[in-house]
Amino acid sequence: MGGIAAIASSLGHHVTGADSNVYPPMSTQLEGLGIALTEGFDINQFNPQPDLVIIGNALSRGNSAVEYVLDRNIPYISGPQWLLENVLKDRWVLAVAGTHGKTTTSSMLAWILEYAGMAPGFLIGGIPQNFGVSARLGESPFFVIEADEYDSAFFDKRSKFVHYRPRTVVLNNLEFDHADIFTNLGEIQKQFHHLIRTVPNNGLVLTPHQDPNLTKVLDMGCWTPVQFYGKDWQVGDISADGSEFEVMLKGESQGKVTWQLQGRHNINNAMMAIAAARHAGVDTPIAIDAISRFINTKRRMEVLGVVNDITVYDDFAHHPTAIATTLEGLRAKVGEQRILAVLEPRSNTMKMGVHKDTLPLSWSAANQVFVFEPGNLSWSMDELLAKSPVTALLYKDLSMLVKSIVTYAKPGDHIVIMSNGGFGGIHQKLLEQLTK
Protein backbone atom coordinates (compact mmCIF):
# COMPACT_ATOMS: atom_id res chain seq x y z
CA MET A 1 0.00 0.00 0.00
CA GLY A 2 2.92 2.33 0.66
CA GLY A 3 4.22 1.67 -2.83
CA ILE A 4 0.79 2.35 -4.34
CA ALA A 5 0.70 5.63 -2.41
CA ALA A 6 4.08 6.57 -3.88
CA ILE A 7 2.92 5.83 -7.44
CA ALA A 8 -0.35 7.71 -6.96
CA SER A 9 1.60 10.70 -5.69
CA SER A 10 3.93 10.60 -8.70
CA LEU A 11 0.84 10.74 -10.95
CA GLY A 12 0.01 14.11 -9.41
CA HIS A 13 -2.65 13.08 -6.90
CA HIS A 14 -2.74 14.46 -3.36
CA VAL A 15 -2.26 11.33 -1.27
CA THR A 16 -2.77 10.67 2.43
CA GLY A 17 -3.02 7.35 4.22
CA ALA A 18 -3.79 5.53 7.44
CA ASP A 19 -2.39 2.42 9.06
CA SER A 20 -1.41 1.09 12.45
CA ASN A 21 2.08 0.30 13.74
CA VAL A 22 3.94 1.42 10.64
CA TYR A 23 7.69 0.91 10.97
CA PRO A 24 10.81 1.56 8.87
CA PRO A 25 11.70 1.32 6.11
CA MET A 26 8.18 2.02 4.78
CA SER A 27 7.36 4.73 7.33
CA THR A 28 10.52 6.65 6.47
CA GLN A 29 9.89 6.23 2.74
CA LEU A 30 6.42 7.75 3.04
CA GLU A 31 7.77 10.59 5.14
CA GLY A 32 10.45 11.29 2.55
CA LEU A 33 7.80 11.46 -0.19
CA GLY A 34 5.74 13.96 1.79
CA ILE A 35 2.80 11.57 2.14
CA ALA A 36 0.94 12.25 5.38
CA LEU A 37 0.24 9.15 7.43
CA THR A 38 -2.43 8.90 10.12
CA GLU A 39 -1.71 6.42 12.90
CA GLY A 40 -4.93 4.47 13.33
CA PHE A 41 -8.26 4.88 11.59
CA ASP A 42 -9.74 8.09 12.98
CA ILE A 43 -12.56 9.25 10.71
CA ASN A 44 -11.36 12.87 10.97
CA GLN A 45 -8.84 12.01 8.27
CA PHE A 46 -11.72 12.11 5.77
CA ASN A 47 -12.07 15.88 6.13
CA PRO A 48 -11.96 17.09 3.41
CA GLN A 49 -13.66 14.14 1.79
CA PRO A 50 -11.39 12.31 -0.66
CA ASP A 51 -12.34 11.60 -4.27
CA LEU A 52 -11.29 7.96 -3.93
CA VAL A 53 -10.27 5.63 -1.12
CA ILE A 54 -7.92 2.72 -1.89
CA ILE A 55 -8.57 0.05 0.74
CA GLY A 56 -5.88 -2.49 1.58
CA ASN A 57 -6.57 -6.15 2.24
CA ALA A 58 -5.61 -5.86 5.92
CA LEU A 59 -8.85 -3.95 6.61
CA SER A 60 -12.25 -5.58 7.02
CA ARG A 61 -15.81 -4.75 7.96
CA GLY A 62 -16.03 -3.25 11.42
CA ASN A 63 -13.01 -1.02 10.90
CA SER A 64 -14.10 2.55 11.66
CA ALA A 65 -12.61 4.00 8.48
CA VAL A 66 -14.13 1.28 6.29
CA GLU A 67 -17.57 1.80 7.85
CA TYR A 68 -17.31 5.57 7.33
CA VAL A 69 -16.52 5.11 3.63
CA LEU A 70 -19.39 2.68 3.11
CA ASP A 71 -21.97 4.73 5.03
CA ARG A 72 -21.24 7.89 3.02
CA ASN A 73 -20.93 6.18 -0.36
CA ILE A 74 -17.41 7.48 -0.91
CA PRO A 75 -15.89 5.83 -4.01
CA TYR A 76 -13.50 3.04 -3.06
CA ILE A 77 -11.37 0.45 -4.84
CA SER A 78 -8.79 -2.24 -4.06
CA GLY A 79 -5.11 -1.55 -4.53
CA PRO A 80 -4.63 -4.14 -7.31
CA GLN A 81 -7.66 -2.91 -9.24
CA TRP A 82 -6.47 0.70 -8.97
CA LEU A 83 -3.05 -0.35 -10.29
CA LEU A 84 -4.62 -2.10 -13.28
CA GLU A 85 -6.83 0.82 -14.24
CA ASN A 86 -4.30 3.60 -13.67
CA VAL A 87 -0.88 2.08 -14.34
CA LEU A 88 -0.73 -1.47 -15.67
CA LYS A 89 -3.33 -1.71 -18.44
CA ASP A 90 -1.04 -0.20 -21.09
CA ARG A 91 2.28 -1.59 -19.84
CA TRP A 92 4.45 -4.66 -20.44
CA VAL A 93 4.03 -6.15 -16.98
CA LEU A 94 6.63 -8.54 -15.60
CA ALA A 95 5.08 -10.27 -12.58
CA VAL A 96 6.96 -12.36 -10.04
CA ALA A 97 4.83 -14.86 -8.10
CA GLY A 98 5.58 -17.70 -5.68
CA THR A 99 5.65 -18.55 -2.01
CA HIS A 100 9.29 -17.50 -1.57
CA GLY A 101 11.65 -15.03 -3.21
CA LYS A 102 9.12 -12.65 -4.76
CA THR A 103 10.61 -9.49 -3.30
CA THR A 104 14.21 -10.41 -4.05
CA THR A 105 13.51 -11.65 -7.58
CA SER A 106 11.39 -8.57 -8.39
CA SER A 107 14.19 -6.33 -7.11
CA MET A 108 16.74 -8.19 -9.23
CA LEU A 109 14.55 -8.00 -12.33
CA ALA A 110 13.86 -4.28 -11.93
CA TRP A 111 17.58 -3.64 -11.46
CA ILE A 112 18.53 -5.62 -14.57
CA LEU A 113 16.09 -3.58 -16.67
CA GLU A 114 17.38 -0.37 -15.10
CA TYR A 115 21.00 -1.35 -15.76
CA ALA A 116 20.08 -2.09 -19.37
CA GLY A 117 18.77 1.49 -19.73
CA MET A 118 15.07 0.56 -19.85
CA ALA A 119 13.94 2.79 -16.92
CA PRO A 120 11.18 0.42 -15.71
CA GLY A 121 8.42 1.17 -13.28
CA PHE A 122 8.09 -1.20 -10.35
CA LEU A 123 6.11 -2.04 -7.24
CA ILE A 124 7.94 -4.27 -4.77
CA GLY A 125 7.07 -5.40 -1.24
CA GLY A 126 10.42 -4.22 0.08
CA ILE A 127 12.98 -1.53 -0.69
CA PRO A 128 15.60 -2.53 -3.29
CA GLN A 129 18.84 -0.88 -2.23
CA ASN A 130 19.84 -0.31 -5.85
CA PHE A 131 16.89 2.12 -6.01
CA GLY A 132 16.18 3.24 -2.43
CA VAL A 133 12.39 3.19 -2.95
CA SER A 134 9.82 0.39 -3.14
CA ALA A 135 7.89 1.78 -6.10
CA ARG A 136 8.07 4.18 -9.00
CA LEU A 137 6.08 4.91 -12.14
CA GLY A 138 8.99 4.49 -14.55
CA GLU A 139 9.69 6.03 -17.94
CA SER A 140 9.11 3.08 -20.27
CA PRO A 141 6.43 0.50 -21.10
CA PHE A 142 8.04 -2.00 -18.71
CA PHE A 143 6.69 -2.49 -15.19
CA VAL A 144 7.95 -5.06 -12.68
CA ILE A 145 5.54 -6.09 -9.94
CA GLU A 146 5.70 -8.45 -6.99
CA ALA A 147 2.67 -10.63 -7.64
CA ASP A 148 1.15 -11.72 -4.33
CA GLU A 149 -1.43 -14.50 -4.05
CA TYR A 150 -3.03 -12.91 -0.98
CA ASP A 151 -6.58 -11.63 -1.45
CA SER A 152 -7.21 -8.16 -2.89
CA ALA A 153 -9.64 -6.63 -0.37
CA PHE A 154 -12.53 -7.47 1.94
CA PHE A 155 -14.86 -6.98 -1.03
CA ASP A 156 -12.67 -8.83 -3.57
CA LYS A 157 -11.36 -12.22 -2.41
CA ARG A 158 -9.46 -12.96 -5.63
CA SER A 159 -5.68 -13.03 -5.38
CA LYS A 160 -4.03 -9.69 -6.06
CA PHE A 161 -2.09 -10.99 -9.03
CA VAL A 162 -5.16 -11.75 -11.18
CA HIS A 163 -5.49 -7.99 -11.68
CA TYR A 164 -1.99 -7.47 -13.06
CA ARG A 165 -2.35 -8.92 -16.62
CA PRO A 166 1.36 -9.78 -17.04
CA ARG A 167 3.06 -10.55 -20.34
CA THR A 168 6.03 -12.10 -18.53
CA VAL A 169 5.31 -14.14 -15.41
CA VAL A 170 7.74 -15.84 -13.04
CA LEU A 171 6.43 -18.68 -10.87
CA ASN A 172 9.28 -19.09 -8.39
CA ASN A 173 7.84 -21.96 -6.31
CA LEU A 174 4.63 -22.94 -4.58
CA GLU A 175 3.97 -24.20 -1.05
CA PHE A 176 1.06 -23.95 1.33
CA ASP A 177 0.89 -20.58 3.08
CA HIS A 178 -1.67 -17.93 4.09
CA ALA A 179 -3.72 -20.41 6.10
CA ASP A 180 -5.96 -17.54 7.20
CA ILE A 181 -7.50 -17.34 3.72
CA PHE A 182 -6.65 -20.68 2.05
CA THR A 183 -7.72 -24.00 3.54
CA ASN A 184 -5.43 -26.17 1.40
CA LEU A 185 -2.79 -26.10 -1.33
CA GLY A 186 -5.37 -26.79 -4.02
CA GLU A 187 -7.07 -23.46 -3.39
CA ILE A 188 -3.78 -21.64 -3.92
CA GLN A 189 -3.08 -23.62 -7.09
CA LYS A 190 -6.47 -22.56 -8.43
CA GLN A 191 -5.54 -18.89 -7.90
CA PHE A 192 -2.19 -19.46 -9.62
CA HIS A 193 -4.06 -20.96 -12.56
CA HIS A 194 -6.26 -17.88 -12.69
CA LEU A 195 -3.02 -15.93 -13.12
CA ILE A 196 -1.84 -18.29 -15.89
CA ARG A 197 -5.14 -17.72 -17.70
CA THR A 198 -4.36 -14.00 -18.02
CA VAL A 199 -0.94 -14.38 -19.71
CA PRO A 200 -1.23 -13.85 -23.49
CA ASN A 201 0.02 -16.22 -26.18
CA ASN A 202 2.88 -13.84 -27.00
CA GLY A 203 3.93 -13.81 -23.35
CA LEU A 204 6.16 -16.17 -21.38
CA VAL A 205 5.78 -18.30 -18.26
CA LEU A 206 8.97 -19.10 -16.33
CA THR A 207 8.87 -21.89 -13.77
CA PRO A 208 11.15 -24.49 -12.17
CA HIS A 209 11.38 -27.80 -14.01
CA GLN A 210 9.46 -30.66 -12.39
CA ASP A 211 8.12 -28.70 -9.44
CA PRO A 212 5.13 -30.93 -8.60
CA ASN A 213 2.96 -28.15 -7.17
CA LEU A 214 3.51 -25.87 -10.16
CA THR A 215 3.25 -28.74 -12.65
CA LYS A 216 -0.30 -29.27 -11.42
CA VAL A 217 -1.03 -25.60 -12.09
CA LEU A 218 0.26 -25.86 -15.66
CA ASP A 219 -1.65 -29.11 -16.18
CA MET A 220 -4.88 -27.22 -15.54
CA GLY A 221 -4.22 -25.49 -18.87
CA CYS A 222 -1.58 -23.15 -20.24
CA TRP A 223 -1.88 -21.16 -23.46
CA THR A 224 1.49 -19.44 -23.24
CA PRO A 225 5.06 -20.58 -24.07
CA VAL A 226 6.86 -21.96 -21.00
CA GLN A 227 10.57 -21.96 -20.19
CA PHE A 228 11.87 -24.11 -17.35
CA TYR A 229 14.62 -23.29 -14.89
CA GLY A 230 16.51 -26.55 -14.51
CA LYS A 231 15.94 -27.51 -18.15
CA ASP A 232 16.11 -24.54 -20.54
CA TRP A 233 17.99 -22.42 -18.01
CA GLN A 234 20.57 -24.08 -15.78
CA VAL A 235 23.34 -23.25 -13.34
CA GLY A 236 26.80 -24.45 -14.34
CA ASP A 237 29.83 -24.17 -12.09
CA ILE A 238 29.01 -22.83 -8.64
CA SER A 239 31.16 -21.86 -5.64
CA ALA A 240 30.60 -23.47 -2.24
CA ASP A 241 28.83 -20.43 -0.78
CA GLY A 242 27.04 -19.37 -3.98
CA SER A 243 28.98 -16.12 -4.39
CA GLU A 244 29.94 -17.21 -7.92
CA PHE A 245 27.91 -19.19 -10.45
CA GLU A 246 27.73 -19.84 -14.17
CA VAL A 247 24.56 -19.09 -16.18
CA MET A 248 23.63 -21.66 -18.83
CA LEU A 249 20.97 -21.38 -21.55
CA LYS A 250 20.17 -24.40 -23.74
CA GLY A 251 23.46 -25.97 -22.64
CA GLU A 252 25.57 -22.92 -23.63
CA SER A 253 27.44 -20.82 -21.08
CA GLN A 254 26.26 -17.20 -20.99
CA GLY A 255 28.78 -15.96 -18.44
CA LYS A 256 29.56 -16.02 -14.73
CA VAL A 257 27.99 -14.01 -11.91
CA THR A 258 30.24 -12.82 -9.08
CA TRP A 259 28.24 -11.02 -6.42
CA GLN A 260 27.76 -10.14 -2.73
CA LEU A 261 24.94 -12.60 -2.05
CA GLN A 262 25.15 -16.24 -1.08
CA GLY A 263 22.93 -19.30 -0.92
CA ARG A 264 21.24 -21.47 -3.52
CA HIS A 265 17.89 -19.71 -3.00
CA ASN A 266 19.39 -16.41 -4.16
CA ILE A 267 20.94 -18.11 -7.21
CA ASN A 268 17.48 -19.48 -8.07
CA ASN A 269 16.02 -15.98 -7.76
CA ALA A 270 18.75 -14.52 -9.96
CA MET A 271 18.31 -17.13 -12.67
CA MET A 272 14.59 -16.37 -12.86
CA ALA A 273 15.27 -12.63 -13.05
CA ILE A 274 17.84 -13.09 -15.82
CA ALA A 275 15.43 -15.28 -17.81
CA ALA A 276 12.54 -12.81 -17.41
CA ALA A 277 14.74 -9.88 -18.44
CA ARG A 278 15.73 -11.73 -21.62
CA HIS A 279 12.06 -11.99 -22.59
CA ALA A 280 11.82 -8.21 -22.25
CA GLY A 281 14.81 -7.77 -24.56
CA VAL A 282 17.87 -7.70 -22.29
CA ASP A 283 20.82 -9.69 -23.61
CA THR A 284 21.86 -12.29 -21.04
CA PRO A 285 25.51 -11.08 -20.71
CA ILE A 286 24.17 -7.62 -19.79
CA ALA A 287 21.81 -9.18 -17.24
CA ILE A 288 24.73 -11.13 -15.74
CA ASP A 289 26.75 -7.92 -15.45
CA ALA A 290 23.78 -6.23 -13.75
CA ILE A 291 23.24 -9.06 -11.26
CA SER A 292 26.91 -8.90 -10.32
CA ARG A 293 26.20 -5.33 -9.18
CA PHE A 294 22.97 -6.13 -7.33
CA ILE A 295 22.64 -5.08 -3.69
CA ASN A 296 20.20 -7.19 -1.71
CA THR A 297 16.82 -5.79 -0.70
CA LYS A 298 16.40 -4.26 2.74
CA ARG A 299 15.44 -6.83 5.39
CA ARG A 300 16.86 -9.68 3.28
CA MET A 301 19.94 -10.68 5.26
CA GLU A 302 20.65 -6.98 5.68
CA VAL A 303 23.65 -6.36 7.92
CA LEU A 304 22.44 -3.92 10.57
CA GLY A 305 25.77 -3.60 12.32
CA VAL A 306 28.91 -5.28 13.59
CA VAL A 307 29.59 -4.79 17.32
CA ASN A 308 32.61 -6.35 19.02
CA ASP A 309 32.98 -8.66 16.01
CA ILE A 310 29.35 -9.81 16.39
CA THR A 311 27.37 -9.37 13.15
CA VAL A 312 23.63 -8.65 13.39
CA TYR A 313 21.37 -9.34 10.38
CA ASP A 314 17.74 -8.46 9.68
CA ASP A 315 15.82 -10.96 7.57
CA PHE A 316 12.17 -11.20 6.51
CA ALA A 317 12.03 -15.02 6.60
CA HIS A 318 8.76 -16.22 8.17
CA HIS A 319 8.10 -19.60 6.52
CA PRO A 320 10.08 -22.79 7.35
CA THR A 321 11.48 -23.08 3.82
CA ALA A 322 12.65 -19.45 3.82
CA ILE A 323 14.16 -19.82 7.29
CA ALA A 324 16.02 -22.97 6.24
CA THR A 325 17.44 -21.57 3.00
CA THR A 326 18.48 -18.34 4.70
CA LEU A 327 20.38 -20.09 7.48
CA GLU A 328 21.89 -22.67 5.13
CA GLY A 329 23.16 -19.89 2.88
CA LEU A 330 24.77 -18.12 5.82
CA ARG A 331 26.26 -21.40 7.06
CA ALA A 332 27.95 -21.93 3.69
CA LYS A 333 29.46 -18.45 4.00
CA VAL A 334 30.64 -18.43 7.64
CA GLY A 335 31.75 -22.03 8.01
CA GLU A 336 32.20 -23.06 11.64
CA GLN A 337 31.39 -19.67 13.16
CA ARG A 338 28.32 -19.68 15.40
CA ILE A 339 24.91 -18.67 14.06
CA LEU A 340 22.29 -17.46 16.54
CA ALA A 341 18.78 -17.48 15.05
CA VAL A 342 16.21 -15.15 16.63
CA LEU A 343 12.68 -15.85 15.42
CA GLU A 344 9.32 -14.15 15.82
CA PRO A 345 6.59 -16.46 14.41
CA ARG A 346 4.39 -13.50 13.47
CA SER A 347 2.51 -14.40 10.28
CA ASN A 348 -1.11 -15.52 10.56
CA THR A 349 -0.12 -18.95 9.25
CA MET A 350 2.58 -19.30 11.91
CA LYS A 351 0.25 -18.16 14.68
CA MET A 352 -2.30 -20.76 13.62
CA GLY A 353 0.32 -23.47 14.14
CA VAL A 354 0.24 -24.70 10.54
CA HIS A 355 4.04 -24.99 10.36
CA LYS A 356 4.72 -26.20 13.89
CA ASP A 357 5.86 -29.65 12.71
CA THR A 358 8.34 -28.35 10.11
CA LEU A 359 9.55 -25.21 11.89
CA PRO A 360 12.06 -26.85 14.28
CA LEU A 361 13.94 -28.57 11.45
CA SER A 362 14.10 -25.31 9.49
CA TRP A 363 16.61 -23.80 11.92
CA SER A 364 18.92 -26.81 12.10
CA ALA A 365 21.79 -24.88 10.46
CA ALA A 366 21.93 -22.57 13.51
CA ASN A 367 23.91 -23.26 16.68
CA GLN A 368 21.39 -21.66 19.01
CA VAL A 369 17.80 -20.53 18.53
CA PHE A 370 15.86 -17.88 20.46
CA VAL A 371 12.08 -17.92 19.84
CA PHE A 372 9.75 -15.10 20.85
CA GLU A 373 6.22 -16.32 21.60
CA PRO A 374 3.50 -13.85 20.62
CA GLY A 375 0.38 -13.59 22.75
CA ASN A 376 -3.04 -15.14 22.14
CA LEU A 377 -1.82 -18.38 20.56
CA SER A 378 -4.15 -21.36 20.38
CA TRP A 379 -1.23 -23.79 20.78
CA SER A 380 1.89 -24.06 22.91
CA MET A 381 5.28 -23.27 21.41
CA ASP A 382 6.86 -25.59 23.96
CA GLU A 383 6.29 -28.26 21.30
CA LEU A 384 8.86 -26.53 19.09
CA LEU A 385 11.57 -26.79 21.71
CA ALA A 386 10.99 -30.50 22.22
CA LYS A 387 11.41 -31.19 18.49
CA SER A 388 14.36 -28.87 17.91
CA PRO A 389 17.59 -30.53 16.68
CA VAL A 390 19.61 -27.69 18.26
CA THR A 391 19.22 -25.85 21.56
CA ALA A 392 16.18 -23.56 21.39
CA LEU A 393 14.91 -21.20 24.07
CA LEU A 394 11.45 -19.63 24.32
CA TYR A 395 10.70 -16.10 25.57
CA LYS A 396 7.49 -14.15 26.12
CA ASP A 397 9.21 -10.96 27.29
CA LEU A 398 11.19 -8.96 24.71
CA SER A 399 13.59 -7.41 27.18
CA MET A 400 14.46 -10.84 28.62
CA LEU A 401 14.99 -12.12 25.09
CA VAL A 402 17.45 -9.33 24.31
CA LYS A 403 19.26 -9.83 27.61
CA SER A 404 19.64 -13.57 26.96
CA ILE A 405 21.02 -13.05 23.45
CA VAL A 406 23.55 -10.49 24.68
CA THR A 407 24.66 -12.81 27.49
CA TYR A 408 25.15 -15.74 25.12
CA ALA A 409 26.79 -13.91 22.19
CA LYS A 410 30.55 -13.75 21.78
CA PRO A 411 32.95 -12.31 19.16
CA GLY A 412 32.71 -14.04 15.81
CA ASP A 413 28.98 -14.82 16.16
CA HIS A 414 26.32 -14.10 13.54
CA ILE A 415 22.90 -13.12 14.92
CA VAL A 416 20.03 -13.44 12.42
CA ILE A 417 16.76 -11.75 13.43
CA MET A 418 13.87 -13.22 11.43
CA SER A 419 10.42 -11.64 11.36
CA ASN A 420 7.99 -10.18 8.83
CA GLY A 421 7.15 -7.36 11.25
CA GLY A 422 8.83 -4.76 13.43
CA PHE A 423 9.56 -7.30 16.20
CA GLY A 424 9.13 -4.65 18.90
CA GLY A 425 12.22 -2.76 17.76
CA ILE A 426 14.47 -5.63 18.84
CA HIS A 427 17.05 -4.84 16.15
CA GLN A 428 18.09 -1.49 17.61
CA LYS A 429 17.69 -2.67 21.20
CA LEU A 430 20.02 -5.58 20.55
CA LEU A 431 22.66 -3.40 18.88
CA GLU A 432 22.52 -0.93 21.77
CA GLN A 433 22.93 -3.66 24.39
CA LEU A 434 25.77 -5.32 22.51
CA THR A 435 27.54 -1.95 22.38
CA LYS A 436 27.12 -1.50 26.14
pLDDT band per the 50, 70, 90 thresholds, residue 129: confident
Give me the pLDDT at residue 10, please.
94
Domain count, the chain: 3
Report whether pLDDT(287) > 90.
Answer: yes
The CATH number covering residue 107 comes to: 3.40.1190.10
Task: Tell me: pLDDT of 348 over 70.
Answer: no
Question: Are 109 and 152 found together in one domain?
Answer: yes
Domain-located, residue 296 = no
Confidence band of 208 (pLDDT split at 50, 70, 90)? very high
The pLDDT of residue 4 is above 70: yes
Are residues 166 and 227 both part of a single domain? Answer: yes
Asked, for residue 133, whether it belongs to a domain, the answer is yes
Last residue in a domain, options 74, 98, 121 = 74
The whole-chain average pLDDT of the chain stands at 91
- Indicate whether 201 belongs to any domain: yes
Q: What is the pTM of this model?
A: 0.79
Mean pLDDT, range 368-390, rounded to an integer: 82
- Give the residue numbers spanning the domain of 162: 81-291
Domain at 424, CATH number:
3.90.190.20
Band the pLDDT of 344: cuts 50, 70, 90: confident
pLDDT value for 333: 85
Asked if the structure places residue 164 within a domain, the reply is yes
Whether residue 419 is found in the same domain as residue 343: yes
Lowest mean pLDDT among 58-62, 186-190, 224-228, 354-358: 354-358
Same domain assignment for residues 283 and 339: no
The winner for highest mean pLDDT among 185-189, 202-206, 260-264 is 202-206
Q: Tell me: do 269 and 309 sit in the same domain.
A: no
Question: Which pLDDT score, from 0 to 100, does residue 84 have?
Answer: 98
Q: Taking residues 25-48, what's their average pLDDT?
A: 89
Q: Is the pLDDT of residue 353 over 80?
A: no
pLDDT digits (tens, 9 = 90+) for 384-428: 788 889 989 999 899 999 999 999 999 999 999 988 878 888 999
Q: Residue 297: inside a domain, yes or no?
A: no
Model confidence over 217-271: pLDDT tens digits? 999 999 999 999 999 999 999 998 888 999 999 999 999 999 988 888 899 999 9
Percent pLDDT > 70 in the chain is 97
With respect to residue 204, please indicate whether it lies within any of the assigned structural domains: yes
- Same domain for 85 and 70? no
Task: Choose one of 266, 291, 316: the last residue of a domain.
Answer: 291
Residue 179, pLDDT above cutoff 80: no
Residue 351 has pLDDT above 70, yes or no: no
Q: What is the pLDDT of residue 181?
A: 77
Distance between CA 362 and CA 364 in Å, rounded? 6
Q: How confident is the model at residue 341 (pLDDT cuts 50, 70, 90)?
A: very high
Residues 340 and 412 placed together within one structural domain of the fold: yes
Does one domain contain both 147 and 260? yes
